[in-house]
């Protein structure tokens, strides 16, 4: 299991970042490593982002030197969304079977977590977000049928999309972690437009189902001093609370959003319309 530490950056400093430094600080290029768990520990709200990809063996969720805890989830909660083949997640005495685009919430205090693929020829790709927790809420599997679904945008604005709220407080109680999945319709490329910030929460985006030879241009930064990062399929990006988080693809795609902070109010956003961005 690999854990990388990322420090927080002041918005005034980010103005001077070149392409390489911007990518080093915010982009997570290798989310899935076969037969390994790879995680980034960000000092933005101590949020963790990464993936588990069991292929030929099962993978135990070990604790990290960064956590200083006996078990990984002693003081944390975790959200998992599977974007690969069928997965089996053992958590304590319980076994969860997680299919494609299904989610699993693991509450604080969950012990002895193990990931495995039902079929090594079609391995699971378990996208993971984790945040500090203060209360032990029950673990729960969330299917697409359980999701709160909202259709947003329109073809005329190239942002017709379906928002699947999976790990939100209207579906499952959590301490601060929220996750969901947005699927763009054919012909639409813009997500989260108009853009917004929320100083109460940080966020992470994970882009997948990006067709071969296509790419995502992720926009970030202060609304009056924006920056961009070009991204490939199955890559993630960190978004500080002061930063916008939006993207346009050279094709339609799907992305998973995850966030944590001081509230669970999904609608708590400070909106900026496109004609005000710089």
Q: Which tokens is 221 given?
A: 């930064």
pLDDT score of 263: 93
Q: Compute the distance between CA of residue 244 and CA of residue 66 in angstroms, rounded to an integer.
A: 28
Of 127, 115, 235, 232, the C-alpha closest to 179 is 127
What does residue 145 show for φ and ψ, rounded to 5 degrees? -65, -25
Residue 63: CB atoms within 10 A of its CB come to 16
What are the residues whose beta carbons fall under 8 Å from the beta carbon of 152, sequence distance 6 or more? 159, 160, 161, 162, 163
Q: What's the pLDDT score for residue 78?
A: 98
What pLDDT is attached to residue 270? 93
Bridge partners of 4? 40
pLDDT > 70 in the chain, percent? 100
pLDDT per position as a tens digit, 242-276 = 999 999 999 999 999 999 999 999 889 999 999 99
Domains and CATH numbers, the chain: 2-133+141-276 (2.60.120.10)
pLDDT tens sequence across 192-213? 999 999 999 999 999 999 999 9
Whether the upstream peptide bond of residue 194 has omega within 30° of 0, thus cis, is yes
Q: What does pLDDT average to over the chain?
A: 97
- Sole residue written with tokens 């990388």: 4
pLDDT of residue 199: 93
Position 238 scores a pLDDT of 98
pLDDT single digits (tens) 77-104? 999 999 999 999 999 999 999 999 999 9
Q: Report the pLDDT value the prediction gives residue 14, as an integer from 0 to 100.
A: 96
pLDDT confidence band for 57 (50 / 70 / 90): very high
pLDDT category at 20 given cuts 50, 70, 90 is: very high
Q: How confident is the model at residue 11 (pLDDT cuts 50, 70, 90)?
A: very high
């Amino acid at each position: 299991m690999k854990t990388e530490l990322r420090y927080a950056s002041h918005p005034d400093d980010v103005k001077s970042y070149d392409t390489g430094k911007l990518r080093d600080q915010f982009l997570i290029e290798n989310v899935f490593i076969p037969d390994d768990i790879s995680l980034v520990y960000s000092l933005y709200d101590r949020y963790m982002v990464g993936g588990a990809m069991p292929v030929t063996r099962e993978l135990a969720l070990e604790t990290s030197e960064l956590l200083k805890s006996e078990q990984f989830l002693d003081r944390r909660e975790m959200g998992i969304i599977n974007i690969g083949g069928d997965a089996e997640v053992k958590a304590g005495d319980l076994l969860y079977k997680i299919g494609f685009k299904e989610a699993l919430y693991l509450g604080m205090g969950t012990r002895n977590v193990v990931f495995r693929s039902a079929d090594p020829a079609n391995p699971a790709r378990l996208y993971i977000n984790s945040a500090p927790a203060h209360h032990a809420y029950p673990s729960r599997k969330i299917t697409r049928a359980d999701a709160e679904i909202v259709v947003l945008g329109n073809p005329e604005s190239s942002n017709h999309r379906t928002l699947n709220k999976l790990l939100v407080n209207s579906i499952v109680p959590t301490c601060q972690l929220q996750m969901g999945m947005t699927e763009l319709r054919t012909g639409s490329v813009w997500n989260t437009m108009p853009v917004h910030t929320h100083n109460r929460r940080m966020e992470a985006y994970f882009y997948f189902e990006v067709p071969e030879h296509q790419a995502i241009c992720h926009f970030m930064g202060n609304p009056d001093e924006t920056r961009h990062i070009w991204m490939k399929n199955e890559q993630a990006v960190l978004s500080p609370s002061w930063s916008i988080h939006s993207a346009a693809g050279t094709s339609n795609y799907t992305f998973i959003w995850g966030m944590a902070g001081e509230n669970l109010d999904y609608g708590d956003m400070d909106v900026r319309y496109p004609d005000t961005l710089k």
